[in-house]
């Protein structure tokens, strides 16, 4: 195959090959490659300018996918907003990103404040009936395609900016490695602000596959979810371990073998090995892959699960380099450094791209790793305090900064408690000002933090315990929160 370096060329070439083939399916609605292509052209025709940030305020689905491809075709970058975020976080991201447009369906919802003159709300339905003509836009390979906001260690979210080249490199690798073709039927569950969605949106449409959106309500009904995977003849699914654990334990897989399913890819957190063993036993003919990498590098390492190698009391490796990444381990800190064409271009801050200078060996992940006897990389936790909660990365500093803004709080420390199913749960130790009570103070917090960031436990301390060197004694805080 010739070298394609932007997302739109790959998509348009596929549209020429299979115009009548279904691209996306959502509940009872289906859209062919040709119909999808025409709608994205309408959106692109309306959007003027180039290399600007355009936000999307829609739930994942066909309409949001139309908006994303339309934005990319117009030569701009898409920023998917998490519309379920509390208003303060949502509006922080909008104020930080300075999008020229926010595309939604219908009028602008009440929880979104557009203060600035430079941002305009657009209703996707108006764009689709507009008759602006689309002029072909040449997309530069290093132009920013996506801006994905993640939790930031400085206390506020930050936008990871990914170029067309970076996303294309991953999408092409995944298409080849997992042998995605026109006969594939991909299940999509990841919200578009989550980097797992890059596979669902771009690997899929460059290979001619069908993408079916899993209805949101099924995530709480494991048995109905596996029935849905069966009914929709799903061949490939990229998701998070916590949901796969739920399915392995409660998804009725004993009576529902999922005969069309070829492979499951998972990422976002460590898959607890006992649950993974259970899943491999229930789905013996399905290939499983552990994909690893922060949003900044996308997937840089992967491990095809070898059932024989699984031991209940040992974590699985993150495997071997992916996407032609060159991996280095720092000799003193054991930190993993990643040099890859997938690497992000910088952080989007205050309405513009702040390019980053990488170390000579690439992006420093903050993850501690080692290499085992089989030459596979193994993950050993973080060098800093970052947590993994329901597949999301969560910076304790972001939660602390929100807690500290509450009336009556002196200070707080957030740590992660290991969850038995997978990943971690944030928990908070707080010091309260005189005359206040914990239950009273915490009440407004629910409206300020996304559900996956909300501490599962609180404990009240008279002071934050410190070590003799003056640093916070996280271990003693953890003990207080677990007892």
In the complex, the residues that contact other proteins under the rule CB under 8 A are: 217, 219-224, 242-243, 245-246, 249-252, 390, 419-422, 438-440, 442-443, 446, 451-452, 454-458
Return the bridge partners of 394, or none: 387
Return the bridge partners of 326, or none: 339
User: Smallest distance from the beta carbon of 67 to other proteins, in angstroms?
Assistant: 28
Nearer to other proteins, 280 or 390 (CB): 390
Helix (H) or strand (E) run with residue 414 in it: strand 409-418
Nearer to other proteins, 102 or 449 (CB): 449
Nearer to other proteins, 255 or 259 (CB): 255
User: Smallest distance from the beta carbon of 411 to other proteins, in angstroms?
Assistant: 19
The length of the chain is 483
User: Smallest distance from the beta carbon of 161 to other proteins, in angstroms?
Assistant: 30
Query: CA torsion 105→106→111→114, rounded to 10°?
Result: 90
How many CB atoms are located within 10 Å of the residue 359 CB? Answer: 12
User: Smallest distance from the beta carbon of 439 to other proteins, in angstroms?
Assistant: 4
Q: Of 156, 178, 174, nearest to 166 (Cα)?
A: 174
Nearer to other proteins, 226 or 297 (CB): 226
Nearer to other proteins, 85 or 340 (CB): 85
- Which strand ranges, in their side-by-side order, compose the sheet holding 320-321? 29-32, 22-26, 210-213, 185-188, 236-239, 263-266, 287-292, 301-304, 320-321
Nearer to other proteins, 92 or 458 (CB): 458
CA distances to 158, 186, 214, 400, 434 from 190, rounded to whole Å, are 19, 12, 9, 27, 44
Nearer to other proteins, 319 or 391 (CB): 391
User: Smallest distance from the beta carbon of 409 to other proteins, in angstroms?
Assistant: 13
Rounded Cα–Cα distance for residues 253 and 226 (Å): 7
Nearer to other proteins, 16 or 231 (CB): 231
CA distances to 14, 183, 212, 229 from 186, rounded to whole Å, are 16, 10, 6, 10
User: Smallest distance from the beta carbon of 442 to other proteins, in angstroms?
Assistant: 5
- Give the DSSP letter string of 147-205: EEEE--TTSS-EEEEEEHHHHHHHHHHHHHHTT--TT-EEEE-S-TTSTTHHIIIIIHH
Query: CA torsion 402→405→410→412, rounded to 10°?
Result: 0
User: Smallest distance from the beta carbon of 301 to other proteins, in angstroms?
Assistant: 25
Nearer to other proteins, 371 or 451 (CB): 451
Nearer to other proteins, 251 or 362 (CB): 251
Helix (H) or strand (E) run with residue 459 in it: strand 457-461
User: Smallest distance from the beta carbon of 417 to other proteins, in angstroms?
Assistant: 10
User: Smallest distance from the beta carbon of 458 to other proteins, in angstroms?
Assistant: 6
Cβ-Cβ contacts under 8 Å for 143 (sequence gap 6 or more): 6, 50, 51, 75, 77, 163, 164
User: Smallest distance from the beta carbon of 220 to other proteins, in angstroms?
Assistant: 5
């Amino acid at each position: 195959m010739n070298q394609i370096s932007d997302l739109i060329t790959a998509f348009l070439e596929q549209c020429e090959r299979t115009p009548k083939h279904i691209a996306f399916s959502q509940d009872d609605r289906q859209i062919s490659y040709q119909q999808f292509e025409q709608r994205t052209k309408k959106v692109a025709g309306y959007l003027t300018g180039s290399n600007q940030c355009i936000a999307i305020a829609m739930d994942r689905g066909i309409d949001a996918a139309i908006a994303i491809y339309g934005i990319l075709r117009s030569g701009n970058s898409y920023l998917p907003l998490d519309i379920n975020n509390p208003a303060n976080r949502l509006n922080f991201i909008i104020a930080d990103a300075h999008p020229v447009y926010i595309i939604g369906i219908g009028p602008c919802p009440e929880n979104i404040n557009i203060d600035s003159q430079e941002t305009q709300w657009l209703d996707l339905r108006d764009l689709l009936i507009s008759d602006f003509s689309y002029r072909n836009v040449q997309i530069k390979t290093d132009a920013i395609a996506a801006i994905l906001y993640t939790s930031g260690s400085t206390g506020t979210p930050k936008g990871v900016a990914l170029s067309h080249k970076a996303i294309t490199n991953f999408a092409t690798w995944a298409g080849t490695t997992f042998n995605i073709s026109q006969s594939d039927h991909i299940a999509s569950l990841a919200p578009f602000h989550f980097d797992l969605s890059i596979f669902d949106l771009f690997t899929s449409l460059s290979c001619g596959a069908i993408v079916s959106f899993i209805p949101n309500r099924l995530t709480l009904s494991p048995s109905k979810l596996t029935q849905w995977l069966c009914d929709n003849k799903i061949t490939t699914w990229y998701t998070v371990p916590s949901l796969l654990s739920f399915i392995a334990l409660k998804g009725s897989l004993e009576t529902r073998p999922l005969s069309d399913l070829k492979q499951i890819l998972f990422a976002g957190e460590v898959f607890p090995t006992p649950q993974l063993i259970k899943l491999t036993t229930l789905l013996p003919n399905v290939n499983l892959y552990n994909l690893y990498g922060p949003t900044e590098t996308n997937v840089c390492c992967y491990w095809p699960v070898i059932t024989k190698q699984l031991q209940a009391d040992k974590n699985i490796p993150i495997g071997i380099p992916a996407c032609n990444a060159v991996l280095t381990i720092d000799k003193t800190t054991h930190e993993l450094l990643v040099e890859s064409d997938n690497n992000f271009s910088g952080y989007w801050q205050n309405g513009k791209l702040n390019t980053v200078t990488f170390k000579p060996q690439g992006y420093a992940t903050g993850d501690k790793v080692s290499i085992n006897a089989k030459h596979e990389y193994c993950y050993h936790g973080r060098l800093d305090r970052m947590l993994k909660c329901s597949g999301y990365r969560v910076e304790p500093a972001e939660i602390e900064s929100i807690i500290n803004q509450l009336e009556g709080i002196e200070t707080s420390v957030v740590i992660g408690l290991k969850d038995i199913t997978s990943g971690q749960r944030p928990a908070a130790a707080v010091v309260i000002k005189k005359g206040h009570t914990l239950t009273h103070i915490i009440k407004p917090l629910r409206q300020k933090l996304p559900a996956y960031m909300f501490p599962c436990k609180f404990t009240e301390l008279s002071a934050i315990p410190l070590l003799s060197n003056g640093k916070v004694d996280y271990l003693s805080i953890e003990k207080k929160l677990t007892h």
